[in-house]
Structure 1
């Protein structure tokens, strides 16, 4: 029995497994659309009731799916703490927690329902390739994140010394300067905080050039890892 359920619940080439995966994907999309419609003002009571029934049905199916996946897993504990195991739990947890929580806290809990859309990653081959690529390049990505954090800090310190006297309201401390450093290194540049001194402008130009390179680095790392992942499949 366990083997039969596993052939259906997990992704296989048999017909029942394909039907099950299509049904779950459809239900995920339906629940996400229902969640979005709930935010519309002045909904009819009948519409709200229908959305509630969709939510109940979705949670029942997702809960059953979650426990079936635990039942057929080779290592149950490993599945529970895996990426998709946690996503599956977060997809249903808000519904059950809402019964014992003050109504004013429901908005924050309802936001967690959006984790359901991440369940689609289990049924998408491209997403599986992406996950494999991230895992294979995790050391390079962690190194990149570490270097980026250092650059952000040094940028905040640099602009603080250039602009503190000229704009004490915007660059009153290194911590206030971090916002400028982040939006500049990421080349977003909202324009709410910008340098006015000559030294600050030259320093900003240098940081922008570094930022352009920083944006390109992870793209190259992930692209290379994705190519390897696809070739290995």
Structure 2
């Protein structure tokens, strides 16, 4: 390489070392935000994590290569320079929570019996096919001198790789290879289908869980509303008629937002209205009340109901 190319390469190495060094120092310093890594002992504990150790090794190797240069021992410099490929392992940190590996592990664990069965039958087909082909081809075919050669041929054939470096030459060997290929390939291909269907079911379950989480809060609100209606004196059939289904909540909200003039009283209006209406009185539903008035009337209703319950208890005594 020319002098200019050497200078450019050396400058790029210096910039890389500075960037990764600053990032490493900032990461160690910011680890104190977590309760487990507060203080210098906590930061030292954080520095002993596998990825931090790899980063430190990469930084030391880069500094060693930069200090040694190309004038010293070429083989030692090349060996140290190869350590910098450990930076590729930093790509694993992109998935910080490990969601990808957890998903893969859950799918494999859920379908472990099916996978073990498919691999077991495929392994038996591999052993039997290799043995039969070796027994037929060992005398006439130099490509099958040992049973290991037959195992290599069986593995390459049943996994549909097919390098073509070894193949049977006799008709008996070809018939055996054709028969076991159709059987063994089916079992070796089963794990891919099992894992694919497992991933599809897992993703569908996650979508169902998200949908359930979205519906849980409205359902809890409706349950609280039903209890409040019961406390205000409404019978359960009346309360059930006043509560809309969960899938109609968004429709009611959109209708309330679009209607700007006269509207029907909402669920909150029916709850936070004066107790005289529940006792037989009538109020004007066309007049819209402020939230403070509704809250004061609700408090008054609860006070009246509490006073009545206390009087009943005193009368019993």
Q: TM-score range by the shorter chain?
A: 0.5 to 0.7
Could you state the TM-score of these two structures normalised by the residue count of structure 1? 0.57
Cα deviation 1:167-199 (Å, max 9, x = unaligned): 23x211111222211110111111111110111
Cα gap change, 1:138/1:193 in structure 2, threshold over 3 Å: closer, same or farther?
same
8 Å contact from structure 2 (residues 107, 195) kept in 1: yes
Shift of 1:142: 4.5
Deviations 1:128-186 (A, max 9, x none): 54443234334543454444444333332222112111123x21111122221111011
- Pick 1 or 2: higher relative contact order, CA cutoff 8 A, min separation 6: 1
Matched, 1:61 2:23: yes
Contact 1:162–1:199 (Cα < 8 Å) also in 2: yes
Contact 2:138 2:145 in 1 (8 A): yes
- Cα pair distance change 1:128/1:173, threshold 3 Å: same
Query: Which of 111, 126, 130 is the equivalent residue of 1:156?
Result: 130
| 5+ residue gaps, structure 1 | 1-41, 75-79
Report whether the alignment pairs 1:120 with 2:82.
no
The residue that corresponds to 2:11 in the other structure is: 49
**In the alignment, which residue of structure 1 is the partner of 2:198?**
225
Which segment is superposed worse, 204-213 or 145-154? 145-154
Question: How many residue pairs are counted as aligned between the two chains?
Answer: 180
TM-score with structure 2 setting the length: 0.44
Residue in 1 that maps onto 2:110: 136
Q: Does 1:196 align with 2:159?
A: no
**How far did 1:102 drift?**
4.3
Q: Aligned partners of 2:116 and 2:36: how far apart in 1?
A: 30
- Distance in 2, matches of 1:103 and 1:207, equals 52
Deviations 1:92-123 (CA, angstroms, capped at 9, x unpaired): 36516746994453466444433233333447
Could you say which residue in structure 1 is the equivalent of 2:274?
Answer: none
The answer on whether the counterparts of 2:17 and 2:59 sit within 8 Å (CA) in structure 1 is no
Distance of 1:108 and 1:54 partners within structure 2? 15
Output aligned runs, 1:1-233, within 5 Å: 45-51=7-13, 53-54=15-16, 57-58=19-20, 61=23, 68=31, 88=51, 92=55, 94-95=57-58, 98=61, 102-106=76-80, 109-122=83-96, 129-168=103-142, 170-233=143-206
- Could you say what the CA RMSD is over the residues aligned between the two structures, in angstroms? 4.1
Structure 2 unaligned residues grouped into runs of 5+: 38-44, 66-74, 207-317
Query: Could you tell me whether the CA contact under 8 Å between 2:119 and 2:191 is conserved in 1?
Result: no
SS at match of 2:141: coil
- Shift of the alpha carbon at 1:91? 5.2
Maintained 8 Å contact 1:180/1:193: yes
Largest Rg, 1 or 2: 2
